[in-house]
């Protein structure tokens, strides 16, 4: 709490990160000769970038040793999304993780007991003492795990806006700068990309729905905003790995089916049901769905993304407490984004839920997250700034 109120200077933050990183094992990957580049997102609503990005980069010849997290509060978690695939295991041992990286170039697992165990203990304390929102503690937490991975490079997706952990742009920028400096101090090439989280990313919000959208994106059918962020991060990862080709190569790997084939390998290696890639009936999905129509004509001026994330947690698709279970089949499809025109009666969103809920209240709450005004609103760029 002293750190929360008084802050830390850069040296103190770096020293804390180093101490947390060295509280456990450091990964060594000497058998992997290609660039080892990871990506970390500070979290948001509908953020399924990792599910598209990791196999895409592996198809380009980059090794992606991705250690991800679970959802809490309004933000979703990569592990929860992957585990909505029947049988998919994220609890690989370090040896299984290394073997998979060597064989297919990508693995997506949860934090192990061996990697930065101090972080897990300290985060639990921060959670119950309301000291989570501290830039030095956030930096030390994220970077202690990532820099233990024996990386050649790290790309950070630092989000700002109503659905981001750091809503304020300048605070998000400070967080990004601090983490980039820590990475470089630790001799790991690090870049941060500041991306907008004022609307859900993509159309789908909810675990199995986001898996479907990720697979569609790997088939070349991804929504523009999701692909813009994915390509921006992927280009930076290629640059850090010293690889040429850029966006053209990324688009080609999707068009050729190589990125989707790599995702299939990940699912197969980690015990998941590969049939989900061709037939979504093998994914859990709520059988009941309800439309949420607009009540007036106009333009979407703002979306309370935080409210949408918390509403998902409220119907079982996320966690309000760490020990909460997850209903992988519930969620939303969000059809309108900031800047879009909408007509009365046109769908703003769709709700997928089987549990007993007051659907009229649910609809009204979700509709209330959209601010509609008569004058046009300019669409925002998804990528605001790159800090390297």
Coil, strand, or helix at residue 138? Answer: helix
CB 311 within 8 A of CB 184: no
What pLDDT, on a 0 to 100 scale, did the predictor assign at position 341? 96
CB 201 within 8 A of CB 227: no
CATH architecture of 9-22+34-278: 3-Layer(aba) Sandwich (3.40)
CA-closest candidate to residue 136, choices 1, 16, 43:
16
Just list the catalytic residues: 40, 119, 126, 141, 145
Q: Tens place of pLDDT for every residue, the chain, 388 residues?
A: 899 999 999 999 999 999 999 998 888 888 898 999 999 998 889 999 999 999 999 999 999 999 887 766 677 788 999 999 999 999 998 899 999 999 999 999 887 788 888 988 887 788 778 887 788 999 999 999 899 988 999 999 999 998 888 889 999 999 999 999 999 999 999 999 999 998 999 999 999 999 999 999 999 999 999 999 999 999 999 999 998 888 999 999 999 999 999 999 999 999 999 999 999 999 999 999 999 999 999 999 999 999 999 999 888 888 777 777 888 999 999 999 999 999 999 999 999 998 766 888 899 999 999 999 999 998 889 999 999 8
What pLDDT, on a 0 to 100 scale, did the predictor assign at position 379? 86
What pLDDT, on a 0 to 100 scale, did the predictor assign at position 295? 94
Interatomic CA distance for residues 308 and 367, integer angstroms: 10
List the structure tokens of 6: 């008084």
pTM of the model: 0.92
List the structure tokens of 125: 């304390």
At the fourth CATH level, the homologous superfamily of domain 285-373 is Pyrimidine nucleoside phosphorylase-like, C-terminal domain (3.90.1170.30)
What pLDDT, on a 0 to 100 scale, did the predictor assign at position 73? 66
* Residue 95: CB atoms within 10 Å: 8
Instruction: Label residue 278 exposed, middle or buried (CB < 10 Å: 0-12, 13-18, 19+).
Output: exposed
Question: What residue segments make up the domains of the chain, in order of their start?
Answer: 9-22+34-278, 285-373
CA-closest candidate to residue 283, choices 204, 200, 207, 202:
207
Interatomic CA distance for residues 141 and 127, integer angstroms: 13
Residues in the chain: 388
What pLDDT, on a 0 to 100 scale, did the predictor assign at position 212? 97
What pLDDT, on a 0 to 100 scale, did the predictor assign at position 356? 66
């Amino acid at each position: 709490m002293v750190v929360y109120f008084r802050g830390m200077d850069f040296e103190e933050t770096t020293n804390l990160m180093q101490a947390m990183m060295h509280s456990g094992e450091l990964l060594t990957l000497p058998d992997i000769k290609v660039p080892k580049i990871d990506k970390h997102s500070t979290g948001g609503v509908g953020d399924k970038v990792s599910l598209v990005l990791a196999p895409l980069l592996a198809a380009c010849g980059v090794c992606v040793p991705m250690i991800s997290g679970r959802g809490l509060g309004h933000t979703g978690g990569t592990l929860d999304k992957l585990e909505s695939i029947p049988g998919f295991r994220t609890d690989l041992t370090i040896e299984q993780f290394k073997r998979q990286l060597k064989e297919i170039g990508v693995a997506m697992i949860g934090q192990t007991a061996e990697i930065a165990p101090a972080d897990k203990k300290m985060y639990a304390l921060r959670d119950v003492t309301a000291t989570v929102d501290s830039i030095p503690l956030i930096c030390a937490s994220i970077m202690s795990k990532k820099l233990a991975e024996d990386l050649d490079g790290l790309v950070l997706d630092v989000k700002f806006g109503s659905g981001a952990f750091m809503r304020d742009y300048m605070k998000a920028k400070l967080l990004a700068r601090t983490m980039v400096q820590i990475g470089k101090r630790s001799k790991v090439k690090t870049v941060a990309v500041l991306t907008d989280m004022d609307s859900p990313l993509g159309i789908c919000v909810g675990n199995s729905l986001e898996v479907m959208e990720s697979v569609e994106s790997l088939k070349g059918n991804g929504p523009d905003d999701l692909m813009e962020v994915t390509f921006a991060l992927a280009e930076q990862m290629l640059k850090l790995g010293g690889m040429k080709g850029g966006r053209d190569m990324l688009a080609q790997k999707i068009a050729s089916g190589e990125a989707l084939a790599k995702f299939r390998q990940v699912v197969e290696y980690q015990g998941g049901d590969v049939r989900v890639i061709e037939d979504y009936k093998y994914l859990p999905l709520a059988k009941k769905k309800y439309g949420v129509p607009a009540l007036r004509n106009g333009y979407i001026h703002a979306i309370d993304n935080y409210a949408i994330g918390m509403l998902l947690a409220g119907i079982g698709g996320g966690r309000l407490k760490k020990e909460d279970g997850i209903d992988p089949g519930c969620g939303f499809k969000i059809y309108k984004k900031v800047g879009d025109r909408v007509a009365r009666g046109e769908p703003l969103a769709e709700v997928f839920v089987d549990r007993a809920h007051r659907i009229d209240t649910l609809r009204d709450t979700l509709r209330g997250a959209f601010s509609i005004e008569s004058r046009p609103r300019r669409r925002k760029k998804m990528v605001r700034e790159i800090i390297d």
